[in-house]
Amino acid sequence: MSDQNKPDKITRREMLFRTGAGGLGLLVGASGFGTISALGKTMSKEEEVNSDDVIPFYGKHQAGITTKQQTYVYLIALDLTTEKLSDIRDLFKEWTIASEKMSKGVLIDSYSDNLYVPPADTGEAAGLSASNLTLTYGFGPTFFEKEGADRFGLASKRPQRLKKLPAFPGDQLEDAWTGGDLCVQVCADDQQVAFHAIRNLIRIGRGIVTLRWMQSGFLRSPKADKKNATPRNLFGFKDGTVNPSTNEDYNDVIWSNGSEASWMKNGSYMVMRRIRMLLEVWDRTHLNEQNKTFGREKVSGAPLGHKDEFDEIDFDKKDEQGKPYIPADSHVKLGRGDGSQKIHRRSYSYSSEMDPTRAQLDAGLLFMSYQKDPFKQFVPIQKRMASSDRMNEYIRHIGSAVFACPGGISEGGYIGDSLF
Ligand code: HEM
């Protein structure tokens, strides 16, 4: 077995942390796992962990998939500029160490006494709690193969179901929001904590990866929503009512059993769609039409003709004129189909301020779903919706990507170790 392909663990030597200074491998101190930097100051202050809002980084599955949705997300896609698998492995090891630290709400490394090197942590999260930070990593189809070339000798490990999504009717995809070799989803209940995490991952990756796109999103905060109700999207509707919620559902819908690729066991496939919402058009649409578009009541979230948000939907229920309450072209009817395809939605609203070409708000849904097989779950649903969803008048799909997010790791392992 060549050295490039040897499975390994993070060694103590590798725990010596490298700053992201252009991949120079500048050693600034021994971070983490009980070691105190010879160069650094004591970590006592930074190591104080507020366990109330810490989501463990290690585990059977990656955090950030079934984790209760935090208030903020940053989602980035990265392209690899290196040709060496060993560079990528090293990068994932460093990201693992940094991710574990940041998830605990501590600095990636203590500041050095040497005033003439850049600090190992950019510092804006110092003193802030972990804020339920999660970091979720994924591999895009182009990680394995690009323009017909097996980039890192791993093409045979690409699962069949990890490939570019087909074109759907009405797609208006822009390169600026599409594709990517790798992705990282960072979520937290504090925006500065989330930004700090994404910024430091990008910094550490300098010289090995470049940023392809970056998207941010938000939901209402738990502070503003004392009832902990289903969050509302920018059309004002409760979004996320019908979603897997038990371990049985998760096994059924989300987690791979590894049959398609052993390295994906306990992992999941993420689909991202950036969907612009034409808010000006929507805001001029009467309430009855808004309700029919979704097949649900705007205020209560109840299916039309039903009482409560969580009522089982009876799609055959008819009004006084004998017409089904829930129109055949409504979003929930098409989302449900015959009930055989299910996905786990974990979307956020986005706002990129203003579209200068139209002098209108540029906002929408950063749609994310997790599933075992995008082609058996997401694709058939999106096919139905793309051809006849009543909502199409009010939205445009402008970005698309798919990533394989491997299972979680245990201490001593590193992200993607099952693949490398
Ligand atoms: C801007 C775009 C979208 C908006 C505003 C939106 C909004 C909603 C809303 C309000 C509901 C009803 C409440 C709920 O169960 O969560 C819903 C349900 C659903 N949506 Fe979407 N959605 C969008 C895009 C998509 C896409 C792209 C897909 C997948 C292809 C999708 C799949 C579903 C599914 C599967 C359901 C549940 C249907 C059921 O009751 O079984 N949605 N969505």
Mean pLDDT for 196-220 is: 98
Confidence band (pLDDT; 50, 70, 90) for 332?
Answer: very high
Do 72 and 187 touch, CB atoms closer than 8 A?
Answer: yes
Do 185 and 347 touch, CB atoms closer than 8 A?
Answer: no
Mean pLDDT for 34-46 is: 35
Q: Whose CA is nearest to atom 26 of ligand 1?
A: 382
Q: How far apart are CA 67 and CA 190, in angstroms?
A: 15
Transcribe 230-292 into DSSP letters. Answer: PPB-TTS-B--SS---SHHHHHHHT---SSS-GGGTT-EEEEEEEEEE-HHHHHTS-HHHHHH
Q: Answer yes or no: is the C-beta of 386 below 6 A from any ligand 1 atom.
A: no
- 154-198 pLDDT, tens digit per residue, is 999 999 999 999 999 999 999 999 999 999 999 999 999 999 999
Give backbone dihedrals phi and psi of 76, rounded to 5 degrees, phi first.
-125, 150
Report which of residues 29 and 350 the model is more confident about: 350
Pocket of ligand 1, candidates 299, 332, 338, 387: which has the most ligand atoms within 8 Å of its Cβ, to mutate?
Answer: 332
Residue 29 has pLDDT above 90, yes or no: no
Helix axes 191-205, 85-103, angle to 10 degrees: 160
pLDDT for the residue 15: 52
Q: How far is the CA of 372 from the centre of ligand 1 (A)?
A: 18
pLDDT for the residue 5: 40
Least confident of 156-165, 217-226, 300-309: 217-226
pLDDT for the residue 3: 39
Atom of ligand 1 nearest to the CA of 365: 1
Residue 129 has pLDDT above 70, yes or no: yes
pLDDT for the residue 353: 87
Residue 45 has pLDDT above 50, yes or no: no
Confidence band (pLDDT; 50, 70, 90) for 26?
Answer: very low
Q: How far apart are CA 248 and CA 266, in angstroms?
A: 13
Q: Answer yes or no: is the C-beta of 151 below 6 A from any ligand 1 atom.
A: no
Mean pLDDT for 274-300 is: 98
Q: Whose CA is nearest to atom 31 of ligand 1?
A: 335
Residue 208 has pLDDT above 90, yes or no: yes
| Cβ neighbours of residue 253 closer than 8 Å, sequence gap 6 or more | 244, 342, 343, 344, 371, 372, 377
Q: How far apart are CA 251 and CA 244, in angstroms?
A: 10
Do 400 and 212 touch, CB atoms closer than 8 A?
Answer: no
Q: How far is the CA of 347 from the centre of ligand 1 (A)?
A: 10
pLDDT for the residue 8: 63
Q: Classify residue 234 as exposed, middle or buried by CB count within 10 Å of its CB (0-12, 13-18, 19+).
A: middle
Q: Whose CA is nearest to atom 35 of ligand 1?
A: 335
Confidence band (pLDDT; 50, 70, 90) for 52?
Answer: confident
**Other C-beta atoms lying within 10 Å of the C-beta of residue 230:** 16
Q: Answer yes or no: is the C-beta of 381 below 6 A from any ligand 1 atom.
A: yes
Q: Answer yes or no: is the C-beta of 241 below 6 A from any ligand 1 atom.
A: yes
Give backbone dihedrals phi and psi of 70, rounded to 5 degrees, phi first.
-80, 180
Structure tokens at 400: 């698309």
Mean pLDDT for 57-66 is: 98
Q: Whose CA is nearest to atom 3 of ligand 1?
A: 365
Residue 301 has pLDDT above 70, yes or no: yes
pLDDT for the residue 35: 29
Q: How far is the CA of 385 from the centre of ligand 1 (A)?
A: 10
Tell me what the pLDDT averaged over the chain comes to.
90
pLDDT for the residue 285: 98
Pocket of ligand 1, candidates 242, 278, 311, 376: which has the most ligand atoms within 8 Å of its Cβ, to mutate?
Answer: 242
Confidence band (pLDDT; 50, 70, 90) for 50?
Answer: low
- Residues above pLDDT 70, as percent of the chain: 88
Residue 115 has pLDDT above 60, yes or no: yes
Q: Answer yes or no: is the C-beta of 235 below 6 A from any ligand 1 atom.
A: yes
Residue 241 has pLDDT above 50, yes or no: yes
pLDDT for the residue 368: 98
Least confident of 8-22, 60-74, 139-153, 261-275: 8-22
